[in-house]
Structures are given as C-alpha cells and as structure tokens.
C-alpha cells in the first residue's frame, strides 16, 4: 500500500460509519402517484371504491400536494358518483411511515417500500357530516409510481 493510502482508506471507512444507525432513511414520496382505495361505513351500509392520482411536493420530512379521484359509493339507495379533487396537506414522513390528510375530513397512514419509494400501502379514515348523520369511513389504500 502506498503511503497515505491507508490514511485515506481509514478516513473513508470511519466517515462512512458515522451515520450508521442515526439516518432515519426518510422515504422520498415526491412526484406523481397513482392510487386506489376502498373505504366503508359499515354502520350505514356504504362502501366506496376510488382510483386517482396524488401530485406531491416534499421538503425534508414534510409534504403537500393535490389529488384527483374518480369512483363510486354503493349505498342502500343506489350508487353515488364519488369524483373529487382537492388538497393533500399535513403530510409527514417518519422513516418509512407516511401520514397525511386529504381535505379536512380524511386521515391516511401507511408505509413506503423501495428505495426510492415506489409503493405506498396503508389505511385511511374519513369522517363526513351528512345532513342528518355522521358517516365514519375506514379502509385501505395503496399507491404506486
């Protein structure tokens, strides 16, 4: 080994080891995602199946963006169109865990897979106020890019 090579090698090895175990490996969720979701309000016999897209901008461990969806809800009185669009806000990435809100009514939590992230999978909860009742939806969602 040439003189100085050992010092450079030692520097590279110790420098690379300094982050070990302290880097949270925060998932990058920025960009366009295609999602599907199925949410149910069992008490009122309503189930909704939707698909659409998220356009996310991430800065550090926070993110926000927009969504667009098409779908339908099956109710005891028939099928209702569930096409919608709005904001994604209060997004937070903690390691591989993703949490965000859609409008003011729906909370989503899930986990990211891949490095960089290529799949998100999780659960969602929406509380909606109808004219004379509160609807409590819960279910699953997944997104890919």
Fold type of domain 23-144:
Lipocalin (2.40.128)
**In the chain, domain spans:** 23-144
- Residue 103: its pLDDT value, please? 86
- The answer to whether 49 and 24 are in contact (CB under 8 A) is no
Alpha-carbon dihedral 124, 34, 49, 79, rounded to 10 degrees:
130
* 12 pLDDT more than 60: no
Average pLDDT estimate for 53-64: 96
Secondary structure (DSSP) of 75-127? ETTEEEE--EEEEEEEEEEETTEEEEEETTTEEEEEEEETTTT-EEEEEEEEE
Q: Which residue has the higher pLDDT, 25 or 31?
A: 31
* 15 pLDDT more than 50: no
CB neighbour class for 5 (10 Å; exposed up to 12, middle 13-18, buried from 19): exposed
Provide CB contacts within 8 A for 79, sequence distance 6+: 72, 73
Reduced to 3 states (helix: H, G, I; strand: E, B; else coil), residue 133 is coil
- Residue 10: its pLDDT value, please? 36
Q: Which residue has the higher pLDDT, 104 or 112?
A: 112
- Residue 24: its pLDDT value, please? 55
Provide CB contacts within 8 A for 2, sequence distance 6+: none
Provide CB contacts within 8 A for 126, sequence distance 6+: 39, 105, 106, 107, 135, 136, 137, 138
């Amino acid at each position: 080994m040439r003189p100085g090579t050992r010092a450079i090698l030692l520097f590279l090895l110790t420098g690379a080891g300094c982050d070990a175990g302290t880097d949270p490996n925060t998932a990058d969720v920025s960009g366009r995602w295609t999602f599907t979701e199925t949410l149910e309000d069992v008490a009122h016999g309503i189930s909704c199946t939707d698909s659409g897209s998220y356009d996310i901008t991430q800065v550090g461990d926070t993110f926000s963006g927009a969504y667009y969806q098409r779908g339908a809800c099956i109710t005891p009185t028939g099928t209702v169109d569930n096409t919608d669009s709005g904001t994604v806000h209060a997004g937070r990435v903690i390691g591989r865990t993703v949490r965000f809100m859609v409008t003011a009514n729906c909370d989503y939590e899930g986990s990211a897979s891949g490095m960089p992230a290529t799949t998100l999978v999780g659960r969602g909860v929406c509380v909606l106020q109808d004219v004379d009742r509160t609807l409590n939806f819960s279910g699953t969602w997944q997104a890919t890019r």
